[in-house]
Every structure is written in C-alpha cells, then in structure tokens.
Amino acid sequence: MSSFNVTNDDGKRVDSANPKGAQADSNAGVARALRFHAASQQIDVSDVEITFDGTTGIVTLSGSVPYASTKNNLISAIGNVAGVAAIDSDNLDVSGP
C-alpha cells in the first residue's frame, strides 16, 4: 500500500482550507475542503476522488493525475493539513510520463 504517514500537527487547519465553509465536521466536508485546498495550490484534482476517515485521519486518493509530479504535489499539499494522519494513494494512477 502506498501510504504516507503524516506527523504534522502544525499544518493548515482543514476547517479553514475552504473560505466558503465546507462542513468540516463531516468526512465529506473535510474531503471537499481538502479538494479545495489542493486546487487552490494549482494542483489538478479534476480526475481525483478524495475521501477522509475522521476516525483514523486517513485520506484516500483514487483516480488519475497526468504526471508523477502532480501526484507528489497533491500528497504533499494534503499531508500539510492539520488532522491528516496518513495518505493512501494506492489507487491514484499517473496517466502520463
């Protein structure tokens, strides 16, 4: 499993990642905030599904991105959000070089 443990508690607060107010008290709301956070950093998440498990703090990424650098940037951006404990990117494919 491509899992990245994150031990960063001083990252950006997930509830402030979306100024329009995603419902950060729900897993779906946190996932929307994470998507907004990544997109605000110019990371293409149009073909990526992001899910969040609030019990474990694990973010799961699935779908595809065009480049390996996009995948790495996405993992880095999400890993820097407070409350994210780990990232599972097993089902996130790179479609290009």
Contact present, 30 and 14 (Cβ < 8 Å): yes
Q: Which residue has the higher pLDDT, 2 or 61?
A: 61
Q: What is the CA radius of gyration of the chain?
A: 12
Binned at pLDDT 50, 70 and 90, residue 18 comes out as very low
What residue segments make up the domains of the chain, in order of their start? 3-94
Residues 61-97 have pLDDT tens digits of 999 999 999 999 999 999 999 889 999 999 999 998 7
- Residue with the bigger pLDDT between 1 and 39: it is 39
Query: Measured between alpha carbons, how far is 1 from 97 in angstroms, rounded to an integer?
Result: 21
Write the pLDDT tens digit of every residue in 43-53.
Answer: 999 999 999 99
52: three-class secondary structure by DSSP: strand
Closest CA to 39 of 70, 84, 12: 70
For 57, the token pair is: 């703090």
- The reported pTM is 0.77
Using an 8 Å Cβ cutoff, are 61 and 32 in contact? no
Helix (H, G, I), strand (E, B) or coil at 67: coil
